[in-house]
Amino acid sequence: MILPNLKDAQHKAWLYRLLAEIYNNQILSSALYFKGGTCAAMRGILDRFSIDLDFDFVAQKKESEIIKKNLEKIFKNLGLDIKEKSQKVPQYFLKYPSRKNERNTIKIDVAMPPPKSNKYEMVEMIEIDRIIMCQTIETMFANKLVALIDRYEKNNSIAGRDVYDIHYFFMQGYNYDKEIIQERRKASPKVFFKEIIEFVEKNISETIINQDINMLISYDKFNKIRKVLKRETLMFLRDEEKRVE
């Protein structure tokens, strides 16, 4: 995973340390499948830094308490403090030792249950020397497309990184899984693309792009992409609306 700023080296080290321990645990490795920006960045299919760990919960719901206990045992062994946690799902905000005014929190988020149409594959993660189950690229892309609107509907928030990732996935020529869009949005891809185009046109501002993305890529890269990001993303989305049925 690319490190845009040396001050984030400690955060990256803690992310990897925690991730390796999660996948050393047989119970957790069979129940938590890796996904999200950190997963994509570690796989080399996304060119930005990512600060959280995201998983799909693929075990039975009744096993959630066992998962929590195993996770919390790992946190304790690593010396991570739980700042906050959800009572409903395995979701945590963890604090690690850091210098003053530096990043010190890792968020762990678990989707429970994940979309039934999600697909997974075994991937070698060289940086942590583990082979783990991850979302396929097509699954990641489809969920990222939906996340831009879904995040707003659920939390009234917009993440500029969602726009950046969508743009990057299109630029790389990645495909997306239409079944996931249909399952999550209850609409055809054509209807969805019309919806997301309107959403980007109305809601994505320069302020949103500046606040979210500038900490995840280098200054030079950010300076080049920020002026064209919205326009080119809309171009790709409009092309896709015309192409899909």
66-76 residue pLDDT tens: 999 999 999 99
In which domain, by residue range, is 3 found?
1-135
Confidence bin at 27 (pLDDT 50/70/90): very high
Write out pLDDT tens, residues 161-176.
999 999 999 999 999 9
162 and 117 inside one domain: no
How buried is 26 (Cβ within 10 angstroms: 0-12 exposed, 13-18 middle, 19+ buried)?
exposed
Judgement on whether residues 113 and 148 belong to the same structural domain of the protein: no
At residue 211, the pLDDT reads 85
Q: Is the pLDDT of residue 245 over 80?
A: no
In this structure, what CATH number is given to the domain that contains residue 108?
3.10.450
**How many percent of the chain have pLDDT more than 70?**
100
Distance separating alpha carbons of residues 101 and 30, to the nearest angstrom: 37
pLDDT score, position 7: 84
Determine the Cα–Cα distance for residues 130 and 122; give it in Å rounded to an integer.
Answer: 10
Q: φ and ψ at 83, to 5 degrees?
A: -80, -35
DSSP secondary structure letter of residue 101: T
Which residues face 133 on adjacent strands? 122
My answer on whether 173 and 116 are in the same domain is no
pLDDT band of 82, cuts 50, 70, 90: very high
pLDDT confidence bin for 119, thresholds 50/70/90: very high
3 and 58, same domain (yes or no)? yes
Q: Do 94 and 161 belong to one domain?
A: no
**What's the whole-number mean pLDDT along residues 233-241?**
97
Report the pLDDT value the prediction gives residue 118, as an integer from 0 to 100. Answer: 98
> Is omega for the bond preceding 4 within 30 degrees of 0, making it cis?
no
pLDDT value at residue 230: 96
- Last residue of a domain, which of 135, 169, 198? 135
Question: How confident is the model at residue 173, as a pLDDT?
Answer: 97
Query: Confidence band (pLDDT; 50, 70, 90) for 239?
Result: very high
- Give the position of tokens 């109305």: 202
Give the count of domains, the chain: 2
CB 241 within 8 A of CB 192: no
Give the whole-angstrom CA distance, residue 76 versus residue 28: 16
Residues 186 and 209 in one domain: yes
Residues in the chain: 245
Per-residue model confidence (pLDDT) at position 4: 79
Distance of alpha carbon 143 from alpha carbon 184, whole angstroms: 9
Residues 162 and 215 in one domain: yes
Count of Cβ atoms closer than 10 Å to residue 76 Cβ: 11
- Of the residues 135, 154, 174, the one at which a domain ends: 135
- Residues 6 and 127 placed together within one structural domain of the fold: yes
Average confidence (pLDDT) over 130-150:
97
Query: Which residue among 135, 165, 183 closes a domain?
Result: 135
Is the same domain home to 118 and 11? yes
Instruction: Give yes or no: residues 231 and 153 share one domain.
Output: yes
Confidence band for 6, pLDDT divided at 50, 70 and 90: confident
Pair 107, 129 in one domain: yes
